[in-house]
Amino acid sequence: MDYTISKHSEDFESQIDQIARLKTINWGLDFNVFRSYVKWNYIDRPQSKPPIIYFVRVGDAIVAMRGVYQTTWQLKNASARFDALCGADLLILEEYRKKGIYKELANFVKRDLDTMGVQYELSFNPAPLVYMISLSMGWKSMGDFKIIKKQFQTRGSKAMALARKLAGPHAGKLLRKTGINLRRREKDNSQRIDMSYNGSTTQLPSRILLENGPRPREMAHLANRTLPKDKITLVRDESFFRWRYNNPLSKYLFLYWHDDGLKGYLVLQSLLHSVKFGGVHNIFELEATDPSIKIELLNTLISLMNSGSISTWVNMLDRDSHDFLLSRGFGEENSAKGVKEPPRTMLIRPLGEYNDKYEFQGLNLLDANNWDFKMIYVHDH
């Protein structure tokens, strides 16, 4: 099969539709939504100017693409920072998969990135096949990212779970007898994230506000105030927060803890295109000046929820928050489920002159405990 690999042209605006069409074919979702996403991710992003995208073409048709974006990482009280390029969109049309395209594309990307002076390439939570190929190409893993999760079951979801357990393949018939249509497509998750807390009789604590939008300046100020002492953290300024929470593929809710200024915040995220029963929500960020404020924010969120599920990474929780969630019925899940489903992880590979260097300011970059990981760092799609 003859194909060519190239970097995007200077006229990127003309390529937005091609990328959105490729994503639409792969995901079967609305073209205009994906067009908005592509613009948000590659044009509006504060960093990565110009956009960095690689295309695989068969003739004039784009059959695969790989996008990357620039990030900058810091350590508290250290003047030095380092840059890393992170993988964003990897799309290959189904009929062109398992033909060696990904490996050729990955090698092309590495050769190009080696010339750009960037120190590292990162890959958050790669797909199973990408994970296996990447390890064979010299990437290294930081280990397993565990999930901590709780399901808030409604009457309908309990009935569905029971019917599936008891009836197996005949669950649909049993559910119809109970008045639940298994085939009914649920409401868009943009509605269900609201339904998860609307109607709750819980009164918010006086110092906590529930809002639908970010406060970029205050969030950036607090994030910089609360940098962990010995962990590598993504640089997040006001422009980052202003951009980050405009992703058209997600909806977010914000809990703010105020007492003479912002002292803490929690962000709940939900994918708009998810159709899982009851709504699937993630704690995207949890920042505070004191562990007790984090617990109050978590407790308020739990008290507001009446359906769906809440998940987050164990890695982004301090010990007090982790123990609190366990006490409120959350359970840990080991993300590795076998060869076909490797663990959630971050992969890293040095670029250019940084060959085989996995150290920054005396910290081992292959030790996940040396990183301040948050779900906000990863694309929510």
Say if residue 24 is in the same domain as residue 126: yes
Give the Cα separation of 69 and 21 in Å (integer): 20
201: pLDDT strictly greater than 60 = no
Give the Cα separation of 191 and 212 in Å (integer): 13
In the structure encoding, which two tokens stand for residue 150, read together?
A: 């709780």
Give the Cα separation of 136 and 143 in Å (integer): 16
Helix (H, G, I), strand (E, B) or coil at 280: strand
Q: What percent of the chain has pLDDT over 70?
A: 79
Taking the CB of residue 52, how many other CB atoms lie within 10 A of it?
21
Listed residue (313, 298, 228) closest to 257, CA to CA? 298
Listed residue (28, 105, 32, 103) closest to 62, CA to CA? 105
Say if residue 115 is in the same domain as residue 208: no
Single pTM value for the model: 0.84
Structure confidence at residue 133 (pLDDT) = 85
- Assigned domain for 162 exists: no
Q: Which residues contact 103 (CB under 8 A, 6 or more apart)?
A: 133, 137
171: pLDDT strictly greater than 50 = no
336: pLDDT strictly greater than 50 = yes
- Assigned domain for 126 exists: yes
Say if residue 129 is in the same domain as residue 257: no
Average model confidence (pLDDT) across the chain: 81
198: pLDDT strictly greater than 60 = no
**Range with the lowest mean pLDDT among 8-17, 178-187, 193-202, 361-370?**
178-187
The more confidently predicted of residues 269 and 273 is 269
- Please, which residues bridge with residue 264 across strands? 257, 288
Q: 92: domain CATH number?
A: 3.40.630.30
Say if residue 210 is in the same domain as residue 111: no
Whether the bond between 50 and the residue before it is cis, its omega within 30 degrees of 0, is: yes
Structure confidence at residue 73 (pLDDT) = 94
Structure confidence at residue 179 (pLDDT) = 40
Torsion 293-299-305-307 (CA) sign? positive
Give the Cα separation of 376 and 287 in Å (integer): 12
Answer for the pair 142, 150: CB distance below 8 angstroms, yes or no. no
Q: In which band, very low, low, confident or very high, does the pLDDT at 9 lie, cut at 50, 70 and 90? A: low
Helix (H, G, I), strand (E, B) or coil at 10: coil
Burial, 75: exposed, middle or buried (Cβ in 10 Å; 0-12, 13-18, 19+)? Answer: buried
Structure confidence at residue 167 (pLDDT) = 43
Say if residue 266 is in the same domain as residue 373: no
- Assigned domain for 246 exists: yes
373: pLDDT strictly greater than 90 = no
157: pLDDT strictly greater than 50 = no
Give the Cα separation of 89 and 62 in Å (integer): 14
- β-strand 147-152 against 308-313: which pairing, if any? antiparallel
Question: Which residue range forms the structural domain that includes residue 217?
Answer: 147-154+186-333
Q: In which band, very low, low, confident or very high, does the pLDDT at 24 lie, cut at 50, 70 and 90? A: confident
- Assigned domain for 198 exists: yes
Say if residue 225 is in the same domain as residue 323: yes
Structure confidence at residue 164 (pLDDT) = 43
- Assigned domain for 133 exists: yes
- Of 333, 353, 368, the last residue of a domain is 333
Q: 311: domain CATH number?
A: 3.40.630.170
Give the Cα separation of 294 and 301 in Å (integer): 11
Region 329-337: mean pLDDT is 77
Region 56-73: mean pLDDT is 89
